[in-house]
Structure 1
Amino acid sequence: MPTFIHIDIPTDNVERAKKFYSDIFEWTFEKPSPEMDYYLFSTKDLDGKEGIRGGMGLRGEPDQKIAAYIGVDSIEKYASQIQKTGGKVLNKMPVPGWGTLAICLDTEGNLFGLWEDATEENK
């Protein structure tokens, strides 16, 4: 069943935001690549088990907000269902070596993302 798998947090100051979240919630951060100005983070639930993962980088647009991504097996399949049921797909794009994402709106105007992992064939 598709579920939320990733949260993307835009920041104005990455170091300040990393300190904020790690000091309060004990999240840990790692930089996946020296070329990327982006950090991945890990969380734990209240029982200490692995929680949702996410990423943090500089804000791309002045009004960019936190976005939650739902993991799916096919962006095309779910994008079609979203449009058929009154939602909108605003943008689809590959993330080379990682997968594909789509930014969507539900019927209430809420923004959310879809994420499809890359397969060996399309990495």
Structure 2
Amino acid sequence: MTSIIHFDISAEDVLRAKNFYEQLFGWKIEKFPAGPVEYYLIETNTATGERGIGGGLAKREKDYQKITNFIQVDAIDEAIAKVKELGGEIVEPKSTIPNIGFIAGCRDTEGNIFGIMELKEE
């Protein structure tokens, strides 16, 4: 079975994007020590202690097709407020997914689109 094992976020201003995602989700983002380009590794497991999908953050060099990743949050209303506070914007308002929870579409400080989801407690 295959599954997503990594994601990349491209940014015009890498340090601004790093700050945005660290503050929004509590991710640990550190510079990768080797390689021909400036690259940061993202650990998504710092908020819950559980292992999450790893990612990367680098300077945007090409206009690749965008892929939307959805990040689970505990409280979508709080996450929406924090996105706005950190300089992002909501591009798709909060809506209900029956029997699942809530979803919203966001744009980060670099123009990347991502989604947030609050899952219904079972």
For normalisation by structure 2, the TM-score amounts to 0.47
For normalisation by structure 1, the TM-score amounts to 0.47
Give 1 or 2 for the bigger CA radius of gyration.
Answer: 1
